Structure 1
C-alpha cells in the first residue's frame, strides 16, 4: 500500500469506574515523587490480526472495543486511584473518580503496510497511535490514557500513556493485566491491588539534578541470542577461577550497550572523563516488612543503580570485565537502598550526556496482557519527546523475529549515532 498512512480518531471519552469508588486524597511515596519527574510514559502494544473471517471482522472489532471499555471500567473499581488525578503539588492523588481517557481509532492501512510497527523510524507517525485528551485537559494530572487503533487487517495497536508518579513498569503492567482479565470476563483481577504508598519511608531528598536538553536520536538494535550467549560464556570462563559467578541476560546486554556507547563517545569525551550506565533495579523484594503487603503493590519500587568508570577504561576493558562491574552495582543495591531508606544514602547519578539509563521491559509483563484477542506480538516505548535523559529500553523483538533482545535507544545525539550503530551491529 502506498500513500500517506492516516489514523481517524474518535473524540476522547472518559471511562469512569463501573461502581461508586472512595473519594479523598492518597499520598504518593518518596520513590513516586522522584519517578514523577519522568511525567507520562508512552508504550505501544501491537496485536496481530485475529483469525476472523472477513464477515466477522467488523463484529469482532466492535466486540473487542466494547470489552476493553468494560474491562477498564471494572478495573477502575479496585484500582480507584487511577481514575483520579495527580494533585497539583505532585505529592498525592486526588481520588476524584473522573475516569481515564479512552480513544477509539482506525488506521487507513494494514499492519503489514507499516512493517508491523517493528521498524525504526516508524512508517506511521507515532503520535497518531497515542491517546490524547480533549483540548483544555491538562496532561500533568492524568494518570492513565488508552487508545485502541484498529488496522484494516483486523490487527490492533493499543497505545498507553501512564503517569510514572503512580506506576512503575511492573505496576502499570499489573493494572493492564487486570483490565485484560476483566475484559475477558473474569469476575475479579487475579492480583488484588495494594496502595499503601505512605508505608515507604520519606528520607530527606537531595537537590533536584541539573538537567540539560539533548537532541537525542531514536535507534533500534537487535542483540542476538548467540551474542548474549557468547558474552555469558566469556564471563563464565573469566569467573571460573575466581568467583564462580554466572552472568544473566541483563548483565550481558548492559555490558554490551555500555561498552558500545563508550566507544561511540570516544571523540566527545576526554579519556579520563567518567561514563556511566544507570539502571532501575527492582526493590519489591526489599520492601517486605516495610509494606503491609508487597504482592499487588503497583507504585514505584525501583532504585537507580549505577556503574561509573573512565571512558578509556570501559573502551579497553573486556566485556567480561564490564559484566563484572554491572554485577557489582547490582549486588550493592540492597545495602544502598537500605541506606536510602534510613536517609544516609541518596541518588547521586548525574543526568548529563555521559550517563545512560536502562529500563528492562522484557520481563515486566506488558507483552503478556490479553484484552481478549491474545497477547501482543510486540511492545515498544514511544517517548521521543523525552530529551533530558539519555535512555534505552530492553524489549522482546517482534513475534516474527523472536530470539535475542531488542534495544530501543534514545541515548546519543546525531554526531555519535552512526558510530554507535556500527558497534551495536557487531552483536546482531
Structure 2
C-alpha cells in the first residue's frame, strides 16, 4: 500500500440509497421484451466498476468540485430517464415485459476512507477493498427483483471516483448499457439531449420457438486475472497471417488471438478432466445489431440485447495439440458463420444449442463496447472491470482494457475453472501471456 499509515482496512460510508425518478412525468404502460432479451434475462443483474483517477482540480476545489460533479451526475441521470423511461420501470415478474412505472433507479452516494492509490487503483486481484461495498444496493426492505439499473458513486480522498453500476441483462446488452451511461454523461455535462436517440422496438425482433432452457450446474469457479501482452497478441497475429497468407488473405484480430490463447490454455489445464475425445467449447456473444437492419425501424440507438452465441467445438486433445494459428482460424470460422446462423434463428430453423456445462467457456468482450468512453463530468475512466463473482453456473471470461498504466494488450478476467484446474490454467496462461 502506498500510504504506510494505513494499517486498518479501508472503509466506505454510504448515504441511504435514494430513488432518482425521471426529471418530468413519462409514459406508463407495459412494453414487451424481445426473445433475445428474455434469453439474456437469466443472467440477472450484471455488475461493473468504472474507476476514475483524480481529476486535475486544485486541492481547494477538490471537495467542492466533487460535490458539484455528483449533483450534475444525478441530474444527468434524472434527465436521461426521460427518453429512456422504461429504465425507470421494473421488469415484470413474468420476465416477459417491462412495466413503465416511472419509479426510478437507485442511486447511492458513498465516500471511501482512503485514496485510490491506497487500494492499488482497484487494480489488484483480489481487490484490497470488499467489492460489494462499491456496488449499489436498494434501500433496506426493497426487493432486487425487477430492478433495471442502480448506480453508486464512491469518492476517494484523493478526488478519484469509483462508479459501480448494476444493470439488468434482460433490458440491456453491454453496448446498450454503455449507450445509456454515455447519455447520462452527456446530459450531466450540459447537453440538452443525448447524441444518440434511444430506440425500444423490442417487439420487432422475431420470436421463434425456443428450445427448453439448458440444465445449469452450480460450479465452484475461481476468480483469476491474466494480462495478455501486446507482444504476445502480435506474435499470434503474425503466426496466423503467415499461415493464412497463402490461402485466404484473412487478418487475425486481437479478439481472435486472445480467444485462441485462452481456449488452448484452458484445454491444457483441463487435460486431466474429460477423456481425450470429449469436446471442449469456447462460445462468444457476437453483436448482431447490423444484422437487424430492415427488421428494426432503427438500429442506431437500439439498446436491447443484440447478440448471438457463436461457438467453437473441438475434441479436447485436438485443441491441446493445435497451433494457435489453427485455433484462430476456428474462431474466425465461428464468427463468419454468425450472419447465416442468426438468420436461421430468426426463421426458427436454427437454435442456440451450446451446452452450458464445464466443457464450455463463454467470452464477453468489454474492451470495445463503450464503457471506457463514458464521461460523467470528471473525465473518462482509467479502468473498467466486471464484478460478477455471484455467477457460478457459467464458466466465463471477460476481455477488458488493462489499467491506463499498462495500456496495450488485453486483460482477461477469468471465472472459468474450479480449484482443481486453477494452478495449471495460470501456468499455461503465463507461458503465452
Partner of 2:167: 162
Aligned to 2:85: 80
State the match for 1:383 in structure 2: 388
Offset at 1:175?
Answer: 0.1
Question: Among 260, 282, 287, which residue is 2:287 paired with?
Answer: 282
1:34-76 Cα distance to aligned partner (Å, 9 max, x none): 0000000000000001112221111011101101100000000
Structure 1 residue 328, shift from structure 2 partner: 0.7
Other-structure match for 2:199: 194
CA drift at 1:181: 0.2
Pair 1:407-2:385 in alignment: no
Deviation at residue 406 of structure 1 after TM alignment: 0.4
Q: 2:312 maps to which residue?
A: 307
Aligned length in residues:
428
Find the aligned partners of 1:135 and 1:345 in 2 and give their Cα distance.
44
Report how far residue 207 of structure 1 moved: 0.2
**CA distance in structure 2 between the partners assigned to 1:140 and 1:280 by the alignment:** 25
What secondary structure is seen at the aligned counterpart in 2 of 1:426?
helix
**What does residue 218 of structure 2 align with?**
213
Quote how far apart the aligned CAs of 1:80 are.
Answer: 0.2
TM-score after normalising by structure 1: 0.99
- Which residue of the partner structure matches residue 266 of structure 1? 271
How far does residue 244 in structure 1 lie from its aligned partner after superposition?
1.6
Equivalents in 1 of 2:123, 2:100: separation in Å? 38
Residues in 2 aligned to 1:139 and 1:54: alpha-carbon distance in whole angstroms: 39
**For the residues of structure 2 that align with 1:83 and 1:2, how far apart are their CA atoms?**
42
Q: Distance in 2 between matches of 1:4 and 1:120?
A: 16
| Structure 2: gaps spanning 5 or more residues | 1-5
Structure 1 segments (4+ residues) deviating >2 Å: none
Which residue of structure 2 aligns with residue 316 of structure 1? 321
Residue by residue over 1:8-46, the C-alpha shift from the partner in whole angstroms, topping out at 9 and shown as x without a partner, is: 111000000001100000000000000000000000000
Q: Distance in 2 between matches of 1:118 and 1:392?
A: 17
Q: Which runs of 5+ in 1 are unaligned?
A: none
SS at match of 2:167: strand
Q: Give the structure 1 partner of residue 39 of structure 2.
A: 34
- The corresponding residue for 2:338 is 333
User: How far does residue 129 in structure 1 lie from its aligned partner after superposition?
Assistant: 0.2
- What is the distance in 1 between the residues matched to 2:352 and 2:377? 41
Describe the SS at the equivalent of 2:432.
Answer: coil
Structure 2 length-normalised TM: 0.98
Within 2, Cα distance between the matches of 1:349 and 1:199? 25
Instruction: Output aligned runs, 1:335-354, within 5 Å.
Output: 335-354=340-359
Please tell me whether residue 427 in structure 1 is matched to residue 432 in structure 2: yes
- What is the alpha-carbon distance in structure 2 between the residues aligned to residue 50 and residue 124 of structure 1? 22
Task: Tell whether 2:240 aligns with 1:235.
Answer: yes
Tell me the residue number matched to 1:359.
364
* Corresponding residue number in structure 2 for 1:115: 120
Residues 249-304 of structure 1 show CA distances to partners (whole Å, capped at 9, x for unaligned) of 11001000000000010011111111000000000000000000000000000000
| Aligned pairs for 1:9-24 within 5 A | 9-24=14-29
**Partners of 1:75 and 1:202 in 2: CA distance:** 29
Q: CA deviation at 1:5?
A: 1.2
Q: Helix, strand or coil: the match of 2:385? A: strand
For 1:133 and 1:271, locate their aligned partners in 2 and report how far apart those are by CA, in whole Å.
Answer: 48
- Report the Cα distance in structure 1 between the residues aligned to 2:258 and 2:151, rounded to whole angstroms: 31
Q: Please give the per-residue CA displacement for 1:365-406, whole angstroms capped at 9, x wherever unaligned.
A: 001000000000000000000000000100000011111110
Q: What is the Cα deviation at residue 107 of structure 1? A: 0.6
Question: Which residue matches 2:3?
Answer: none
Residue 52 of structure 2 is matched in structure 1 by 47
Q: Which deviates the most, 242-251 or 164-173?
A: 242-251
> How many Å apart are 1:233 and its aligned residue?
0.5
Q: Which residue of 1 aligns with 2:259?
A: 254
| Cα distance in structure 1, aligned partners of 2:193 and 2:414 | 37
Q: Deviations over 1:218-258 (max 9, x none)?
A: 11100000100100000011111111211011100100000
Question: How far does residue 427 in structure 1 lie from its aligned partner after superposition?
Answer: 2.9
Task: Work out the CA distance in 2 between the residues paired with 1:178 and 1:240.
Answer: 43
Task: Report how far residue 312 of structure 1 moved.
Answer: 0.4
What RMSD over aligned residues (CA atoms) do the two structures have, in Å?
0.6
In 2: Cα distance, 1:331 partner to 1:138 partner: 42
Distance 1:60 1:427 in 2: 45
Instruction: Report matched runs for 1:171-186 at 5 Å.
Output: 171-186=176-191
SS at match of 1:116: helix
